[in-house]
Amino acid sequence: MSNLNKEQQRACCYTEGPLLILAGAGSGKTRVITHRIAYLIDELGINPYNILAITFTNKAANEMRERVDNLVGFGSESIWVSTFHSMCVRILRKHIDKIGGTRDFSIYDTDEQKVVMKEVIKYLNLDPKLYPEKAMLSAISKAKENYMSPDDYEREHATSFRDQQVANIYREYQKRLKSNNALDFDDLIYQTIFLFETNPDALAEYQERFKYIMVDEYQDTNHTQFVLVKQLAAKYRNLCVVGDDDQSIYKFRGANIYNILNFEETYPDSEVVRLEQNYRSTKNILNAANAVIAHNNGRKEKKLWTENEEGDKVRFTRYANEYEEAERIAMKIRSLNRRGVSYDDIAILYRTNNQSRVFEEKLIYENIPYKLYGGTNFYSRKEIRDMVSYLKLLVNPSDDTAVKRIINVPKRGIGDTTINKINDFAIDNGINFYDAVVDIDEVPGMSRAAEKIKKFAELIDELKAMLEEEGVFISEVYDALIEKTGYINELMAEGTDEAKARIENIEELKNKIVKYEEEAENPNLTELLEDISLVADVDEGDEDSEKVTLMTLHSAKGLEFSYVFIGGMEEGLFPSQMSMDSDDPDAVEEERRLCYVGITRAMRELYLSAAAQRMIRGNTCYSNISRFIEEIPEEYIDKSGNISDASFGGEFGIGFGQSVIRKPISNIGFGRPKTNQSDYGKNNPYAKKSYGSNPSANPGFGKAFPMGDNSSSDYKVGDKVRHIKFGTGTVISVVPAGSDKEITVDFERVGEKRMFASLVKMKKL
């Protein structure tokens, strides 16, 4: 153990009784687990057969298995190194007959679960729009994670008619799984617990085998995983759990932080070892991380330290908008690469998936290769391809690929057989697919499908007619498209995290459209689609070539990069608006843990940034700087704008104690956003601080956000004006806002809009 520090050695040598290893970011926890296993075998003579090590992913299990084999050598194959699910499969293959199953059971994946659920909904004569397959599977999964049977679920939700129906669906779903001799992934753990509860002999067999148990990433365990581990460790109590409560960021997946926070209550005789020496980051990065996470109440006290160099201060820059933010980050990455930094050593992190679009586009424009970790390029995502296909059809009815993609999206009851018949008719008559759709009465064998096809054609005709109307914007047609197809409504009904992310992506495409309308001289849909195609058609390149990594903060856990950029450090985005509005006191604390994870990914340099204004659902919103920036002491952070060499003299002229959101272009589509994104700025200690000087004496953003020449935009109440997008209107209010003016215009077509004189594309008539 000569290569271990003092606390790592203590963790390895404490082998009898419960042990909690609080392993801070970059503190070498995997090394400790593998050396602890080697110590048990080599020094204490423990039989490898009696050791169990549980990880969360197959990748982690394989890495640990490889390290253990290298350290231990002969006999290491007897050690169980596995995920929770693979462990349970092995146990159930041997003992499931004791609870009424057979050993040749199937394990259903997500697609197979959907097939069963579809049958259940139909059998119970329920409306699939009111009880969507994904939403029902999600509800059942959560019930199983809490070890609730259908009867338990029914009792727990006795006052809700809908939840009573969910209980019926759950019961029928389980009945069908049983008749199919199948288990889903949640069943693997659920049924293993049930086996141990009802068959003491089976439990005793594994308690006797696993005398020494180690669990990695314990902060990510859910309720059933906690129960299962407790069952297995009950006899010998030699349970070692390793984790970091400060990196508990998967509550949305069922993780329960209290499993690690309350470990000492569950096991009063437990020993606690804190691994606080970090081998990854510079002192300044660690100090910044410690300062942020110290604001959380629900945590175990620890403070990371390192013998690494002091390093540069964390850099924070506030840009005019998300486009400048992405552009400047891309330019900085280019500069780093020219200095000899490999693209592989650079990562851009962000809070939500939809933020990737602007970063992707700017990297493409700068010809910087990139890869999305654990995700799909923005324009390759299903929902975006669907929306773009609709838009393509409006200007090019000959695009058969686009028509076929969306003729049954969302589902209209137009199946593959019908589509094939239309396609055959089109080929036989030498016409394109959409012409055959329009002439559906001429297509043989349509019967009941004909009316559904006609409704689809009517929808396309309505949207085409709207697009051709004078004064109507592409963004308005896009809103109408979303409303008339019901695409977002269907996703909302799913109620899953995946559906929520897809909705955010659809809204981000609206931002792209509005931005294009604002910048193009003569906006038209054909040109917009060309622009999208040029960005979307990116050569993936050589898999082995260097690439910048783009990923969400959730995906970044466990990884490290020499240079890290975290964008979107704004209230309402990070921390998220949902967490700020939540009644759960842990919601914002989990966001802060996510920030801590992001900061501690950086090894050498960390760049944080925010946008003064960001487009949300097609509307320009002004945001406060994230509280997490304010929580980093000045001695560890440089707020002078090092990325763009811009100097931020103070708060933006309008002040960031409040958020201003312009009214939506129309009432169609996404609905009306709140007029205040957050109440946080009104009464919190962070929002009113400024950077570097008195905001009233030096408003604005200096070089990074030129406010323009107000003399050329000297609007007065009563002035007649024309806006590039909103058309003609009358100025009804002019209010000073720092060095700028906030003007309100009553437009003839879209009503009142609030804008800043120096930014608005408008002229007096």
Report yes or no: 571 and 580 within 8 Å, Cβ to Cβ.
yes
| Residue 216 appears among annotated catalytic residues | yes
Q: How far is CA 281 from CA 286, 289, 304, 311, 533, in A?
A: 6, 10, 10, 9, 40
Phi, then psi, of 719 in degrees rounded to 5: -65, 140
User: Residue 663 gets which letter from DSSP?
Assistant: P
What tokens does 262 get? Answer: 């309350």
For residues 124 and 172, give the distance between their C-alpha atoms in angstroms, rounded to a whole number.
9
Which of 9, 29, 282, 617 is flagged as catalytic? 29
Q: Which helix (H) or strand (E) holds 266?
A: helix 263-266
What tokens does 449 get? Answer: 């499908």
What tokens does 505 get? Answer: 């992506």
| Residue 29 appears among annotated catalytic residues | yes
Which of 601, 614, 617, 741 is flagged as catalytic? 601
Which of 133, 145, 217, 479 is flagged as catalytic? 217
Which residues, other chains included, contact 401 with Cβ-Cβ below 8 Å and sequence gap of 6+? 389
For residues 35 and 217, give the distance between their C-alpha atoms in angstroms, rounded to a whole number.
17
User: Residue 125 gets which letter from DSSP?
Assistant: T
Question: If DSSP codes are grouped into helix, strand and coil, which group holds residue 128?
Answer: coil
Which ranges in 605-742 belong to alpha helices (H)? 627-630, 680-683
Q: How far is CA 575 from CA 540, 594, 620, 689, in A?
A: 33, 9, 19, 18
For residues 539 and 377, give the distance between their C-alpha atoms in angstroms, rounded to a whole number.
12
241 has which bridge partners? 20, 215
Which of 247, 317, 352, 485 is flagged as catalytic? 247
107 has which bridge partners? 183
Which residues, other chains included, contact 738 with Cβ-Cβ below 8 Å and sequence gap of 6+? 652, 653, 654, 655, 695, 696, 699, 700
| Residue 31 appears among annotated catalytic residues | no
Q: Which helix (H) or strand (E) holds 563?
A: strand 561-566
Rg of the chain over Cα atoms, rounded to whole angstroms, equals: 29
First-residue to last-residue Cα distance in the chain: 81
Which residue spans within 592-688 are E strands per DSSP?
A: 602-616, 619-622, 637-638
DSSP 454-484: HHHHHHHHHHHHHHHSTT--HHHHHHHHHHH
Give the β-pairing of 740-747 and 727-737: antiparallel
Q: Other CB atoms closer than 10 Å to residue 185's CB: what's the count? A: 18
Report yes or no: 656 and 624 within 8 Å, Cβ to Cβ.
yes
Q: Other CB atoms closer than 10 Å to residue 301's CB: what's the count? A: 7
Q: How far is CA 549 from the centre of its chain?
A: 15
Report yes or no: 28 and 244 within 8 Å, Cβ to Cβ.
no
Cα 25–29–33 angle (5° rounding)?
165
User: Residue 656 gets which letter from DSSP?
Assistant: S
Report yes or no: 377 and 360 within 8 Å, Cβ to Cβ.
yes
Amino acid at 436: A
What tokens does 487 get? Answer: 């695409």
User: Residue 716 gets which letter from DSSP?
Assistant: -
Which of 187, 216, 345, 479 is flagged as catalytic? 216
Which ranges in 469-540 belong to alpha helices (H)? 474-485, 487-494, 497-519, 525-536
What tokens does 115 get? Answer: 């097939």
For residues 643 and 645, give the distance between their C-alpha atoms in angstroms, rounded to a whole number.
6
Q: Other CB atoms closer than 10 Å to residue 339's CB: what's the count? A: 7
Residues with a known catalytic role: 29-30, 216-217, 247, 601
